Amino acid sequence: MIKTVAIQGVKGSFHHIVSQQFFDKTIDVSEYLTFDGVVDSIMNAKNDAAIMAIENSIAGSIIPNYALIDNFGLHIVGEHYLDIQHHLMALPNQTIEDIKEVYSHPMALLQCKAFFKKFPHIKLIEDKDTAEVAQRIQANQLKNVAAIASRLASELFQLQILSESIQTIKHNETRFFIVKTKNSEIPEIEINKASIKFELDHKRGSLATILNVLSDCKLNLTKIQSLPKIETPWKYAFFVDVTFDAYSDYIKAKSIMKIMAQDFKVLGEYKNARL
Amino acid sequence: MIKTVAIQGVKGSFHHIVSQQFFDKTIDVSEYLTFDGVVDSIMNAKNDAAIMAIENSIAGSIIPNYALIDNFGLHIVGEHYLDIQHHLMALPNQTIEDIKEVYSHPMALLQCKAFFKKFPHIKLIEDKDTAEVAQRIQANQLKNVAAIASRLASELFQLQILSESIQTIKHNETRFFIVKTKNSEIPEIEINKASIKFELDHKRGSLATILNVLSDCKLNLTKIQSLPKIETPWKYAFFVDVTFDAYSDYIKAKSIMKIMAQDFKVLGEYKNARL
């Protein structure tokens, strides 16, 4: 039973929104400034689960978060997709001409870069979190400063939205994982997606052979990424997501992959959020 | 003929080191604070080529740089691997106890995070570039401030190294692309690696089929990455690197992939730097 969830960022952050949508609005959230802190908290049983952004449709995978899941042996028990809308917000009665500095997370700044070309008087400054800046503007009554954050953040911290959806690419989705230290308690019948990891030597066609197995077992590949093995540069591990209709097909593919690939590992078995 | 090269960062940066190693120490470099600036400069023919970090063995691919190469139709004409060693440096006669703030690029801070756990009195602050901080410390004679940068930066800006190779993972390689607006002028006989991009519909086994073609044509896959298609979330394009012994094998595979995959595109054909 999941009662408390660790999130990266403060209330009003996109991780907070995901916790409300995946569970419900009454879920207890614990705020951490870093993903390391989030993972520490579930390893020490301070929280039952954690929410971690894993990829977005602009910048691709958040590799350090894959590394955390892999290194700490965490289990992915769910996924959630959130349409990220970035709004520019400041204390009430400020106009965009009043704003001299915008603080936000590097990813948010990157996604809104084009918008600020029209406002060369505004300095963009990297910060730890999107919503935490909104909180700070309210707490310290900061004038001439704006945040890029969610609508929830503007509501929680009583800021006025100066400009809506300022991200360059209007359709901007981020995928989140819900992770636990223990494996999924989802009934098999509901499991139709899995994230796996394996390593291969660089023999010609070794990856094609594995993908043929997946295909023969009626698994669909929805993501593949070769990743350098740390401390062994340019030896790659593969992170793969598969979807399937029958759990038995997946079990069959898993038993073959265990034999054919090196260091085969299931990162999680869960319900596809994209049906 | 390549006479001037655009680099991200200032002299003393890792991009500068790559320019010296790939060309020679006399190559003219133009400094840009962003990769957008680097690309602008070759699009406007201000420089003959650009150097762009594309992946490292810790954080994986630098996806926005793949997007720049793809969107501007640039051509990869070479690759270079650099063993990144981060050193902590400050004005002479400062000890690590004197240091209150360390400014560096977010990637460098991430890679050196563990080192600073022993020094909780030091505040880590994200900055635009590694070497530019070294330059600034010298220019403004900043005390109590350190940079994380290359040995070349410490030499150019007369800083003293307080601690050597402070990155957590000692073997830390970054791969760089040399890109131009025109295709490679490398003789065919020297070309044994290519970076390609294609899209596939999500039909089961479509990727396996393509990889079988590569394997049948005697191409080795050294990297694969599925990437979300911008503006069409969760439709993926594939970025693949292949190596080969015979250029004719690659030509054959290319002609088949053009027919089988959607939006097949060659990002570059060049000499493998990992022989």
Q: What is the pLDDT of residues B169-223, one digit of tens each?
A: 887 789 999 999 988 678 899 999 999 999 987 677 788 899 999 999 999 988 9
CATH class of A192-269: alpha beta
CATH class of B4-84+172-180: alpha beta
Contacts of A146 (CB under 8 A, 6+ apart): A88, A89, A90, A94, A96, A99, A101, A102, A103, A122, A137, A162
If we measure between CA atoms, which residue out of A273, A275, A251, A265 comes closest to residue A75? Answer: A265
Give the one of A55, A60, A231 whose C-beta lies nearest to B171's C-beta. Answer: A231
The confidence score (pLDDT) of residue A245 equals 95
Chain A residue with minimum CA distance to B225: A225
Under 8 Å between Cβ of B62 and B8? no
Contact flag A110-B64 (C-beta cutoff 8 Å) = yes
The confidence score (pLDDT) of residue B232 equals 66
Supply A46's token pair: 């301070």
The confidence score (pLDDT) of residue B256 equals 95
**B-proximal residues of A, 165-204, CB under 8 Å:** 169-173, 202, 204
Contact flag B212-A205 (C-beta cutoff 8 Å) = yes
ipTM: 0.75
Number of Cβ pairs < 8 A linking chain A and chain B = 116
Contact flag B58-A230 (C-beta cutoff 8 Å) = yes
Chain B residue with minimum CA distance to A174: B233
The confidence score (pLDDT) of residue A235 equals 66
Q: What is the pLDDT of residues B33-76, one digit of tens each?
A: 889 999 999 999 999 999 999 988 777 788 889 989 999 999 99
Q: How far is B235 from chain A (nearest CA, A)?
A: 9
Chain A residue with minimum CA distance to B215: A205
Mutate to test the interface with A, among B55, B195, B200, B211 (most CBs of A within 10 A): B211
Domain with CATH 3.40.190.10 in chain A: 4-83+172-180, 87-163
Give the one of B55, B169, B226 whose C-beta lies nearest to A224's C-beta. Answer: B226
Chain A residue with minimum CA distance to B82: A233
Contact flag B220-A236 (C-beta cutoff 8 Å) = no
**A-proximal residues of B, 203-262, CB under 8 Å:** 204-205, 207-208, 211-212, 214-215, 218-234, 236, 238
Which amino acid type is present at position B36? Answer: D
Under 8 Å between Cβ of B96 and B163? yes
Q: Return the H-helix or E-strand segment holding A36.
A: helix A35-43
The confidence score (pLDDT) of residue A232 equals 66
Supply the mean pLDDT for chain B. 91
If we measure between CA atoms, which residue out of A125, A105, A223, A119 comes closest to residue A162? Answer: A119
Give the one of B205, B233, B274 whose C-beta lies nearest to A171's C-beta. Answer: B233
Contact flag B173-A211 (C-beta cutoff 8 Å) = no
Contacts of A223 in chain B (CB under 8 A): 226, 236
Q: Does A59 touch chain B (CB under 8 A)?
A: yes
Report d(CA A115, CA A97) in Å as an integer.
Answer: 14
Report d(CA B170, CA B72) in Å as an integer.
Answer: 35
Q: How far is A45 from chain B (nearest CA, A)?
A: 23
Pick the CATH number of B87-163 from 3.40.190.10, 1.20.140.150, 1.10.3720.10, 3.40.50.720: 3.40.190.10
Contacts of B230 in chain A (CB under 8 A): 57-58, 169
Contact flag A228-B106 (C-beta cutoff 8 Å) = no
Q: Does B120 touch chain A (CB under 8 A)?
A: no
The confidence score (pLDDT) of residue A129 equals 86
Report d(CA B119, CA A90) in Å as an integer.
Answer: 36
Pick the CATH number of B191-270 from 3.40.50.300, 3.65.10.10, 3.30.70.260, 3.90.320.10: 3.30.70.260
Domain with CATH 3.40.190.10 in chain B: 4-84+172-180, 87-163
If we measure between CA atoms, which residue out of A32, A39, A42, A37 comes closest to residue A4? Answer: A42
Q: How far is B93 from chain A (nearest CA, A)?
A: 31
* CATH number, domain A4-83+172-180: 3.40.190.10
Supply B88's token pair: 């902590």
Contacts of B204 in chain A (CB under 8 A): 215, 218-220
- pLDDT category, B81, cuts 50, 70, 90? very high
Q: What is the pLDDT along chain A (275 residues), one digit of tens a residue?
A: 889 999 999 999 999 999 999 999 999 999 998 899 999 999 999 999 999 999 887 777 888 899 899 999 999 999 999 999 999 999 999 999 999 999 998 888 888 988 999 999 999 988 888 999 999 999 999 999 999 999 999 999 999 999 999 998 887 789 999 999 988 678 899 999 999 999 987 677 788 899 999 999 999 988 998 876 666 655 678 999 999 999 999 999 999 999 998 889 999 999 999 86
Domain with CATH 3.30.70.260 in chain B: 191-270
